[in-house]
A and B are shown apart, each in its own frame.
Chain A
């Protein structure tokens, strides 16, 4: 084991000691704080705010401490969006107590997050959940993080400093016209704060029974002409269990460091950012896996006027993953992206862009998987244009298309048309029809799966893109200042889905495009904030799908390898602000059964108790998955292993200077 990872293993004990000691130290330090001088405005807390005082009686300092009610703010941000969108804010993340990014995504209504083992998650909107779920476009600060290998996401290495996340936008449904390839069922867009907004130092330690230990330090400061932040973090995760309760032997260790630097002025700015990580997972029957990677990104923005701006971005991303006896590859990806926004006339807002991506991988044959050819270059080039047209007051049409060329399948058109009607400031009605594609990957085109020296599944090199035509409609309504409602419904038709066609000799099964599917459903989300100290959000998702095959196809799977989805999803969250700077957060979720392989329904609940004992300091006790000793979230047809997750308890301390 590398020394870095050995150090990560020692984390739990270090973290626990620090977590226990620090609050005491902090309290001691607090009493020595100097009194505010006459130059500093009096803190708002100095005058207790009585409910009887109107806003007009508050000082400007006090006004700056008043929360904008959630329903009101949501409406401003989202009312004008002609798509099904859910936003997780930085505050939501803090209150959720989520230990990592995939767990944090559980907050999003309409997004199915299922944990498969200690370091694998299955995350998808609108169905098609598999361990190789491949129909979501996932981006972190403008960098595409789904793997060109299988169009899915290795969630174990998608780590960010959750404290630095500004928001996560989750768009359900195709977003291909603007976002690009792979945005078939949705887009997850993680946006971190600007360096100028993350100045100062934050340190977080946590220790628990499952998330054994984690430590994170981030520091932000100023340089000539700009701002920067640097961070480092590491965590160690205990293994999950088998349904019998025996250890699953899949413990996980991970460390990551990174930076962000912003230079220039708001009119012309340069952002540089990068991350590097290393990790390893245990296996019960073989050596540890070995994963690592890094990326560096430069983004240049030029602001010409409120009606025109330009963004140019280039990044390099390198990943390495070795799972003994199964899978090994190294990949380097270059991506260059240009985007120009202009409002040539009052009624038009045009966005256009171009993208080029080149990726090269280098695989190593294993007894289970290998690829033909072993190494491969692939490229992708695209241009897009979208026009948001105001037809008359409150009525808008958005037309756009992306034209994409890729190595595997040639030219693809991904058009979309959206219309939205805002009869007043409190409501939006929208509808859309769009086409999107999932590009072929190495897994579709070049894969060979081997068992006992015999190739069982083989790509033919002739795989076409999978397509979807999606019909959507939605309604958003601000009911009162304290409540709002968001409803979206969809009907999707998929073609050219991946199938397994028996060859002349039955095996190998050849990867083809023989499956068809239709899916339909709806999502409802509601926000309710009856009191400033009581906020809640609840959501329900209904999903159905129906697989069939082309007349020529002899695929025997019936689509069981392409999706295993729950029909009902229910979730709700209540956040309470209690006296003495205490916070209480309750979160519950329910997933109905998944059909094939059968996975029973389950309900789980999380509780977080937080104490903000000092501005920017936060001590919390987090219980996750509290209802059962252990529960199973996802069973894959491709794996005989079933992993269950135990009740988790964790203490977390975050301090800011």
Chain B
């Protein structure tokens, strides 16, 4: 009478242990920080976007920083074409010259208000709001079936950083030549 449940428990336990390596998960912003790092590797900034060969590659977060410390730790000790990364929090385009800008969902309309100022910078902007591409953002992150996906506005401005075709292929949707 005892053997049957005991046997099934053993079988289930064995299956569980074997399952351990099958899959992984991570916190949303931990993942998004790594996405940002990856995006910088699939975009090409013109040389004149930097003040000099050792000038930092500036990663900005607009307003309320949802990353905690993970953004700093993700970019620490990494370089973009020799430029060390520097992470900053900004409130508007006049605060810093950014190369990559993360716009938290709650800051989407703040970003939209200053869109002209942001467009004047050699910038890839990454957001996480349904409206982000419509207001002129470059890459929008969203979660579908528990996984992070993205959509891209392929920028129309000639001065904007170039987005590699590999990144465009991985995008769920691409809006060529500007906003949807």
Show the binding face of A for B, using Cβ within 8 Å: 39, 41, 48-51, 55-56, 58, 60-61, 63-70, 72-73, 76, 89-91, 197, 265-267, 303, 305-307, 343, 346, 425, 481, 529, 531-534, 576-579, 582, 584
Contacts and interface: CB of A to CB of B under 8 A. Distances in A.
A109 to B, nearest CB: 19
A65 B147 contact: yes
B50 to A, nearest CB: 23
Given A41-B170, A343-B109, A533 B19 contact: yes
B78 to A, nearest CB: 8
A64 B146 contact: no
Which 10 residue pairs of A and B lie closest in terms of their CB atoms, listed nearest first? Answer: A532-B25, A67-B25, A306-B109, A306-B131, A72-B27, A69-B25, A532-B23, A72-B28, A55-B34, A578-B19
Interface stretch (B35-43, B54-62, B89-97, B117-125): B35-43
Contacts, number: 132
Contacts of B68: 425
Contacts of B135: 305-306
B24 A66 contact: yes
Contact of B19 (A90, A346, A577): A577
Nearest to A303: B134
B26 A68 contact: yes
A58 B18 contact: no
Given A64-B147, A68-B148, A306-B109, A58 B34 contact: yes
Contacts of B167: 60
A48 B146 CA distance: 20
A576 B170 contact: no
Contacts of B112: 305-307
Given A41-B166, A303-B134, A73 B28 contact: yes
B143 A68 contact: yes
A266 to B, nearest CB: 5
A625 B66 CA distance: 43
A266 B133 CA distance: 10
B51 interface: no
Interface residues of B, number: 47
B38 to A, nearest CB: 5
A579 B12 CA distance: 12
Interface in B91-133: 108-110, 112, 129-131, 133
Interface in B56-89: 66, 68, 74
Nearest to B33: A55
Contacts of B19: 533-534, 576-579
Contact of B26 (A50, A55, A343, A579): A55
B18 A579 contact: yes
A459 B106 CA distance: 52
Give the interface centre of B12, B74, B146 by most chain A CB atoms within 10 Å: B146
A197 B130 CA distance: 14
B74 to A, nearest CB: 7
B15 interface: yes
A536 to B, nearest CB: 13
A63 B110 CA distance: 29
Contacts of A582: 15
B38 A60 contact: yes
Contacts of A76: 28
A323 to B, nearest CB: 41
B21 interface: yes
Interface in B127-154: 129-131, 133-135, 143-149
B22 interface: yes
B93 to A, nearest CB: 17
Residue with the greatest number of chain B CB neighbours at <10 A, chosen from A69, A267, A582: A69
A65 B22 CA distance: 12
B21 A56 contact: no
A66 B25 contact: yes
B142 to A, nearest CB: 11
B53 interface: no
A578 B166 contact: no
8 contacts: A56-B37, A60-B170, A66-B147, A68-B147, A68-B148, A91-B146, A266-B134, A267-B180
